[in-house]
Amino acid sequence: MTSSEPNSKADTLSPDEVMRYSRHIIMGQVGPAGQRKLKKSKVLIVGAGGLGGPVAIYLALAGVGTIGIVEFDVVDLSNLQRQVLHQTADIDKSKIESAQETLEAYNPHIKVIQHHAPLTSDNAMEILPDYDIVVNGADNFATRYLVNDACYLLGKTLVDGAILLFDGQATVYEPGKCCYRCLYPTPPPPGMVPSCAEAGVLGAITGIVGSIQATEVFKQILNIGTPLTNKLLLIDALTMEFRTMKLRRDPNCPLCGDNPTITELIDYDIFCGSLPLEMPANK
Amino acid sequence: MPIKVNVTSVIEKFVGGQRSFESEGKTIDELIQAINNKFPGFANQLLEENGELRRFVNIYINDEDVRYLGGLGTELKDSDEVSILPALAGG
């Protein structure tokens, strides 16, 4: 883990910060106290790709004081159709370095913490506890179940989003109210639901869903509005229809149900079928 | 009784490229079979071999998950809107 130095004191706003955030501070729901709350907040973003990009940029612009990013990949030319943290000159650079440079160029007052590794069952319980809120920008089912389970076990709110082709989904999982396993108890068998690499994804849908996730984080920190908890927002970019479905905690959920059977992190590659069952766990 | 059905991008290729269409059925099960009669292979995307709903696919009647209603046997009424949502993992 490496981090940049914060450029200003933790509990106060400098004149530059007051001016920078003035369009937020002027709003009654934010005010100077809310802006200081944003500054003191620590948000972890899993993935610096399509969703992680707009989330990270809007949180950085808003002055969320500490932004952690978990990412292990390098910038590829095929990322640049949608991943706004990275530019052409960043190709082959580590995404996390590129992300930090972009975010600090946007706002020198924030601190970016790099977790330069894939999120695993071994490191999740070391990384997540330092953060107030976790944002999911993962691109695979195994990491999605891992982030869900770790957030529930640690009592962290998870601001979730997912995209594919012209579709987007967003919701907020508050511990004990509903979790990803209540919505989808088991992952699809490998190959049944394609990835963005296999099927494609509209670049701009990452901006729509990521901006919704950033908005939900903002609301969580400031405790304003009505969160997207127990609601699944569905976005169809082709019809530009937004619909909301009800989400419920499943009493039979193996994680957050009445008689949980998952009480610690498991091997998510095996759970998602990406490793054969007879192979030893390779977390 | 026509029922409006909405599907996501992952499913639309199994129903002739439509994201929204009308079909018929007194229950969710009948609706799936009616769609499958027109688009063979559709039901296989949603149902296990034993006929149960796959655990990574959710079906909603209006905004309610059928798992919390009557499952595949849930009765449909005129003006109901059915949405079929397989899990997405892109980020």
Does B10 fall in a domain? yes
In this prediction, residue B87 has a pLDDT band, given cuts at 50, 70 and 90, of very high
**Which residue is closest to B13 within chain A, CA to CA?**
A199
Q: Do B63 and A138 touch (CB under 8 A)?
A: no
The identity of residue A14, as a single letter, is: S
Chain B residues touching A245 at Cβ < 8 A: 58, 60, 63-65, 83, 85
Q: Give the mean model confidence (pLDDT) for residues A272-279.
A: 60
Q: How many structural domains compose chain B?
A: 1
> CB count, 10 Å around CB of A215?
17
CA dist A29 → A219, A225, B71 (Å)? 9, 9, 42
pLDDT at A282 over 80: no
**A20 within domain boundaries:** yes
Q: What does the pLDDT look like over A120-164, one tens digit per residue?
A: 999 999 999 999 999 999 999 999 999 999 999 999 999 999 999
- Partner residue facing A188 (CB), from B9, B56, B60: B56
Cα dihedral value B51, A262, A133, A46, nearest 10: -70
Which tokens belong to A247? 């989400």
Non-local (6+) Cβ contacts of A195 within 8 A are A139, A140, A164, B89, B90
Spatial separation of the C-alpha atoms in residues A119 and A144, rounded to whole Å: 10
Q: From the list A164, A243, A247, which residue is nearest B88 (CB)? A: A164
| Domains identified in chain A, total number | 1
Q: Is residue A196 part of a domain?
A: yes
- Structure-token match 């396993």, residue found: A181
pLDDT digits (tens, 9 = 90+) for A223-232: 999 999 999 9
pLDDT at A4: 55
Residue A282 domain flag? no
Identify all chain A residues contacting B41, using CB atoms and an 8 Å cutoff. none
In a domain, A226, yes or no: yes
The yes-or-no verdict on residue A277 having pLDDT over 50 is: no
In a domain, B61, yes or no: yes
Q: Looking at the domain assignment, is residue A178 inside a domain? A: yes
For residue B83, the chain A residue with the least C-alpha distance is: A245
ipTM score for this prediction: 0.94
**SS3 call for A107:** coil
Per-residue model confidence as pLDDT tens digits over B14-62: 999 999 999 999 999 999 999 999 999 999 999 999 999 999 999 999 9
* Domain presence at residue A148: yes
- In terms of residue numbers, what domain contains B63? 2-86
- B contacts of A185 (beta carbons < 8 Å): 55
> Is A248 a member of any domain?
yes
All residues of chain B having their beta carbon less than 8 Å from the beta carbon of residue A49 are 91
pLDDT in tens, A82-126: 999 999 999 999 999 999 999 999 999 999 999 999 999 999 999
| Angle of the A203-222 helix axis to the A52-62 helix axis, nearest 10 | 40
- At residue A8, does pLDDT exceed 70? no
> Mind spelling out the 3-state secondary structure of A193-255?
CCCHHHHCECHHHHHHHHHHHHHHHHHHHHCCCCCCECEEEEEECCCCEEEEEECCCCCCCCC
pLDDT for A210: 98
Give residue A262's domain range: 2-9+16-271
Which CATH number covers residue B14? 3.10.20.30
- What is residue A196's predicted lDDT score, i.e. its pLDDT? 87
Tokens of B84: 């079929």
Q: Is residue B91 part of a domain?
A: no
Q: Tell me the average pLDDT of chain A.
A: 94
Could you tell me the CATH number of the domain that includes residue A170? 3.40.50.720
Has residue A277 been placed in a domain? no
Is the pLDDT at A254 greater than 60? The verdict is: yes
In a mutagenesis test of the A interface, which of B9, B81, B84 is the best target, namely the one with the most A β-carbons within 10 Å? B9
Taking contacts as CB-CB distances below 8 angstroms, the residues of chain B near A193 are: 10, 56, 86-89
- Closest CA of chain B from A187, distance in Å: 6
Tell me the whole-structure pTM to 2 decimals.
Answer: 0.94
Q: Examine residue B79 and state whether it is found in any structural domain, yes or no.
A: yes
- For residue A259, give how far its alpha carbon lies from the nearest alpha carbon of chain B (Å): 18
Which two three-digit tokens encode residue A86? 């990275």
pLDDT in tens, A159-217: 999 999 999 999 999 999 999 999 999 999 988 888 888 889 999 999 999 999 999 99
For residue A47, the Cα-to-chain-centroid distance in whole angstroms is 7
Query: For A10-24, what is the mean pLDDT?
Result: 94
Residue B37 lies in a domain: yes
Over pLDDT 90: what percentage of chain A? Answer: 88
